[in-house]
Amino acid sequence: MPDASFVGKALPPTAPYRVGREKIREFALAIGEGASVCLDVDAARAAGHPDVVAPPTFPVVFTMPAIERFLRDPAFGWDYLRMVHGDQSITLHRPIHGGDDLVTTIHVDDLKTRGGSHFLTLRCEVADTSGEPVATTKLLLVTAAEEGA
């Protein structure tokens, strides 16, 4: 059983994640995003950006490893092997660019149990190192009920 005392708490912020230009390009190509501002620095700068622009779903690159570390922490008690992805949303407060240094703070917003399954809602607040908001992600994870539950 996951530890419900985590609900309403924020985990310590992550170390800054440096957004690499090549990471953006690789991610964009992997998801089929061919926009020149995602791939070419000159095109991004011509469009008014300081560097290449990450596709809107790019935050999963650095938020999901932080979430996984939390979920695998025995103190929380999440059944990682029985987990399925329920829902996810990403709200960008500004574009993510190559060279950004971003910090993620995970908030445990909700934990409910229905029919033996656990429903966990996590929110990641992503900010630059000066504290300016960059993105908010929300994630619903579900652990399947054990047989016989």
What would the pLDDT profile of 10-39 be if each residue is shown by its tens digit? 999 999 999 999 999 999 999 999 999 999
pLDDT in tens, 52-108: 999 999 999 999 999 999 999 999 999 988 999 999 999 999 999 999 999 999 999
For the question of whether the overall pTM of this predicted structure is more than 0.75, the answer is yes
Q: Is 83 helix (H, G, I), strand (E, B) or coil?
A: strand
**CB within 8 A of 124, min separation 6: which ones?**
59, 63, 66, 67, 104, 105, 106, 107, 135, 136, 137, 138, 139
Query: Which pLDDT score, from 0 to 100, does residue 147 have?
Result: 65
**CB within 8 A of 143, min separation 6: which ones?**
78, 79, 82, 83, 84, 117, 118, 120
Query: Which pLDDT score, from 0 to 100, does residue 145 have?
Result: 73
Q: Which helix (H) or strand (E) holds 86?
A: strand 83-92
